[in-house]
Amino acid sequence: MVRQPSVAAQHREPLTRDRIIEAALHIVDGQGLGRLTMRRLGDALEVEAMAIYHHLPRGKEELLDGLVAHVAVLPAEARSADWRAALRSWADAYRARLLAHAGVLPLLVTRRNPAALSGTTASLREILRQAGLPEQSAADGAHALLGYVIGHAALEVRDTAAAEESVDWHARFSAGLALILRGLPT
Protein backbone atom coordinates (compact mmCIF):
# COMPACT_ATOMS: atom_id res chain seq x y z
CA MET A 1 0.00 0.00 0.00
CA VAL A 2 2.06 2.88 -1.24
CA ARG A 3 0.56 6.28 -0.82
CA GLN A 4 0.20 8.11 -4.14
CA PRO A 5 3.46 9.97 -4.59
CA SER A 6 2.35 12.00 -7.63
CA VAL A 7 3.19 15.53 -8.56
CA ALA A 8 0.27 16.73 -6.45
CA ALA A 9 2.38 16.02 -3.37
CA GLN A 10 4.32 19.12 -4.26
CA HIS A 11 1.36 21.47 -3.90
CA ARG A 12 0.01 20.23 -0.61
CA GLU A 13 -2.20 22.22 1.72
CA PRO A 14 -0.34 25.40 2.54
CA LEU A 15 0.83 25.68 6.12
CA THR A 16 -1.24 28.08 8.21
CA ARG A 17 -1.37 29.09 11.84
CA ASP A 18 -4.72 27.38 12.26
CA ARG A 19 -3.63 24.12 10.66
CA ILE A 20 -0.55 24.09 12.90
CA ILE A 21 -2.52 24.65 16.08
CA GLU A 22 -5.12 22.05 15.18
CA ALA A 23 -2.43 19.48 14.48
CA ALA A 24 -0.78 20.34 17.80
CA LEU A 25 -4.07 19.92 19.66
CA HIS A 26 -4.52 16.56 17.97
CA ILE A 27 -1.13 15.42 19.24
CA VAL A 28 -1.82 16.67 22.78
CA ASP A 29 -5.24 15.00 22.88
CA GLY A 30 -3.93 11.74 21.51
CA GLN A 31 -0.49 11.41 23.05
CA GLY A 32 -0.26 13.98 25.82
CA LEU A 33 1.40 17.35 26.24
CA GLY A 34 4.79 15.81 26.88
CA ARG A 35 4.93 14.37 23.38
CA LEU A 36 4.20 17.63 21.62
CA THR A 37 7.54 18.59 20.09
CA MET A 38 8.29 20.83 17.17
CA ARG A 39 9.84 17.94 15.29
CA ARG A 40 6.85 15.64 15.80
CA LEU A 41 4.49 18.47 14.92
CA GLY A 42 6.46 19.00 11.73
CA ASP A 43 6.11 15.30 10.89
CA ALA A 44 2.34 15.44 11.42
CA LEU A 45 2.15 18.38 9.02
CA GLU A 46 4.53 16.70 6.55
CA VAL A 47 6.97 19.54 6.81
CA GLU A 48 10.33 20.20 8.44
CA ALA A 49 9.99 21.44 12.02
CA MET A 50 11.72 24.68 11.15
CA ALA A 51 8.97 25.65 8.71
CA ILE A 52 6.66 26.20 11.68
CA TYR A 53 8.70 29.15 12.86
CA HIS A 54 7.74 31.03 9.74
CA HIS A 55 4.11 31.04 10.88
CA LEU A 56 4.71 31.24 14.63
CA PRO A 57 7.76 33.46 15.05
CA ARG A 58 7.73 33.07 18.84
CA GLY A 59 8.06 29.34 18.37
CA LYS A 60 6.77 26.89 20.92
CA GLU A 61 5.65 29.67 23.27
CA GLU A 62 3.31 30.97 20.61
CA LEU A 63 2.13 27.46 19.82
CA LEU A 64 1.16 26.79 23.44
CA ASP A 65 -0.52 30.19 23.68
CA GLY A 66 -2.57 29.20 20.67
CA LEU A 67 -3.64 25.95 22.29
CA VAL A 68 -4.77 27.81 25.40
CA ALA A 69 -6.81 30.25 23.36
CA HIS A 70 -8.34 27.47 21.29
CA VAL A 71 -9.56 25.62 24.40
CA ALA A 72 -10.29 28.40 26.89
CA VAL A 73 -12.26 30.85 24.80
CA LEU A 74 -15.94 29.94 25.15
CA PRO A 75 -18.15 32.86 26.18
CA ALA A 76 -21.50 32.22 27.80
CA GLU A 77 -24.56 33.15 25.76
CA ALA A 78 -27.15 35.23 27.56
CA ARG A 79 -30.58 33.72 27.10
CA SER A 80 -33.10 36.26 28.29
CA ALA A 81 -35.32 33.76 30.09
CA ASP A 82 -33.45 32.09 32.93
CA TRP A 83 -29.95 33.30 33.73
CA ARG A 84 -29.23 30.38 36.03
CA ALA A 85 -30.06 27.94 33.23
CA ALA A 86 -27.79 29.90 30.91
CA LEU A 87 -24.90 29.66 33.36
CA ARG A 88 -25.56 25.97 33.93
CA SER A 89 -25.40 25.15 30.25
CA TRP A 90 -22.28 27.26 29.81
CA ALA A 91 -20.65 25.43 32.73
CA ASP A 92 -21.54 22.04 31.25
CA ALA A 93 -20.09 23.00 27.90
CA TYR A 94 -16.94 24.46 29.42
CA ARG A 95 -16.37 21.42 31.60
CA ALA A 96 -16.82 19.15 28.57
CA ARG A 97 -14.31 21.15 26.59
CA LEU A 98 -11.73 21.03 29.38
CA LEU A 99 -12.14 17.29 29.82
CA ALA A 100 -11.91 16.71 26.07
CA HIS A 101 -8.59 18.57 26.03
CA ALA A 102 -7.29 17.63 29.44
CA GLY A 103 -3.71 17.81 28.20
CA VAL A 104 -4.09 21.58 27.78
CA LEU A 105 -5.26 22.07 31.37
CA PRO A 106 -1.76 22.51 32.82
CA LEU A 107 -1.14 25.28 30.28
CA LEU A 108 -4.31 27.06 31.38
CA VAL A 109 -2.93 27.19 34.89
CA THR A 110 0.19 29.12 33.90
CA ARG A 111 0.91 32.75 33.32
CA ARG A 112 0.80 31.89 29.64
CA ASN A 113 -1.54 33.87 27.40
CA PRO A 114 -3.09 35.97 30.17
CA ALA A 115 -5.73 37.52 27.93
CA ALA A 116 -7.19 34.16 26.88
CA LEU A 117 -9.79 34.00 29.65
CA SER A 118 -10.86 37.61 29.71
CA GLY A 119 -13.58 37.29 27.07
CA THR A 120 -15.11 34.30 28.78
CA THR A 121 -14.97 36.00 32.18
CA ALA A 122 -16.58 39.12 30.76
CA SER A 123 -19.49 37.15 29.34
CA LEU A 124 -20.21 35.61 32.75
CA ARG A 125 -19.97 38.96 34.48
CA GLU A 126 -22.37 40.48 31.97
CA ILE A 127 -24.97 37.78 32.51
CA LEU A 128 -24.83 38.30 36.27
CA ARG A 129 -25.04 42.06 35.81
CA GLN A 130 -28.13 41.72 33.64
CA ALA A 131 -29.58 39.42 36.28
CA GLY A 132 -29.53 42.42 38.59
CA LEU A 133 -26.33 41.90 40.59
CA PRO A 134 -24.27 44.96 41.47
CA GLU A 135 -20.99 45.37 39.59
CA GLN A 136 -18.77 44.00 42.31
CA SER A 137 -20.86 40.92 43.05
CA ALA A 138 -21.12 40.17 39.34
CA ALA A 139 -17.34 40.28 38.99
CA ASP A 140 -16.81 38.12 42.07
CA GLY A 141 -19.47 35.67 40.95
CA ALA A 142 -17.97 35.35 37.49
CA HIS A 143 -14.59 34.44 38.99
CA ALA A 144 -16.20 32.01 41.41
CA LEU A 145 -17.95 30.23 38.55
CA LEU A 146 -14.95 30.07 36.25
CA GLY A 147 -12.61 29.08 39.07
CA TYR A 148 -14.93 26.32 40.20
CA VAL A 149 -15.35 24.88 36.71
CA ILE A 150 -11.61 24.86 36.01
CA GLY A 151 -10.70 23.50 39.43
CA HIS A 152 -13.32 20.79 39.37
CA ALA A 153 -12.25 19.71 35.89
CA ALA A 154 -8.70 19.43 37.20
CA LEU A 155 -9.86 17.20 40.06
CA GLU A 156 -11.83 15.02 37.67
CA VAL A 157 -8.86 14.52 35.40
CA ARG A 158 -6.66 13.62 38.37
CA ASP A 159 -9.04 11.27 40.11
CA THR A 160 -10.09 9.56 36.91
CA ALA A 161 -6.43 8.58 36.64
CA ALA A 162 -6.43 7.38 40.23
CA ALA A 163 -9.43 5.23 39.33
CA GLU A 164 -10.76 4.86 42.82
CA GLU A 165 -14.40 3.88 43.29
CA SER A 166 -16.65 4.76 40.40
CA VAL A 167 -18.05 8.26 40.75
CA ASP A 168 -20.77 10.08 38.84
CA TRP A 169 -18.63 13.08 38.10
CA HIS A 170 -21.26 14.98 36.19
CA ALA A 171 -23.65 14.71 39.12
CA ARG A 172 -20.94 15.81 41.51
CA PHE A 173 -20.04 18.73 39.27
CA SER A 174 -23.69 19.82 39.05
CA ALA A 175 -24.11 19.57 42.81
CA GLY A 176 -21.19 21.92 43.43
CA LEU A 177 -22.37 24.27 40.72
CA ALA A 178 -25.80 24.38 42.32
CA LEU A 179 -24.21 25.54 45.60
CA ILE A 180 -22.73 28.54 43.85
CA LEU A 181 -25.78 29.39 41.78
CA ARG A 182 -28.02 29.12 44.83
CA GLY A 183 -25.74 31.48 46.70
CA LEU A 184 -25.86 34.17 44.03
CA PRO A 185 -28.64 36.55 45.13
CA THR A 186 -31.47 37.11 42.72
Partner DNA sequence: ACCTGAACACCGTTCAAGT
Q: Does 135 bind a copy of itself (CB under 8 A)?
A: no
Q: Does 75 bind a copy of itself (CB under 8 A)?
A: no
Q: Does 119 bind a copy of itself (CB under 8 A)?
A: no
**Contact stretch for DNA (CB under 7 A) within 55-63, 78-86, 89-97, 147-155:** 55-63
137 binds, among a copy of itself, DNA, none (CB under 5 to 8 A by kind): a copy of itself
Closest listed residue to residue 42, CA positions, set 71, 15, 11, 10: 15
- Burial class of 167 by CB neighbour count within 10 A (0 to 12, 13 to 18, 19+): exposed
CB of 114 to DNA, least distance (A): 18
Count Cα atoms within 13 angstroms, Cβ side, for 74. 18
Q: Which is nearer to a copy of itself, 9 or 185 (CB)?
A: 185
Query: Among 9, 17, 31, 59, which residue interacts with DNA (rule: CB under 7 A)?
Result: 59
Q: Does 40 bind DNA (CB under 7 A)?
A: yes
Residue 162's CB: how many other CB atoms inside 10 A? 6
> If binding means CB under 7 A, how many residues of this protein chain bind DNA?
20
Measured at the CA of 121, the angle between CA 102 and CA 21, to 5 degrees, comes to 40
Given a contact cutoff of 8 angstroms between Cβ atoms, the answer to whether 124 and 141 are in contact is yes
Binding positions for DNA, rule: CB under 7 A? 14-15, 35-40, 42, 47-51, 53-55, 59-61
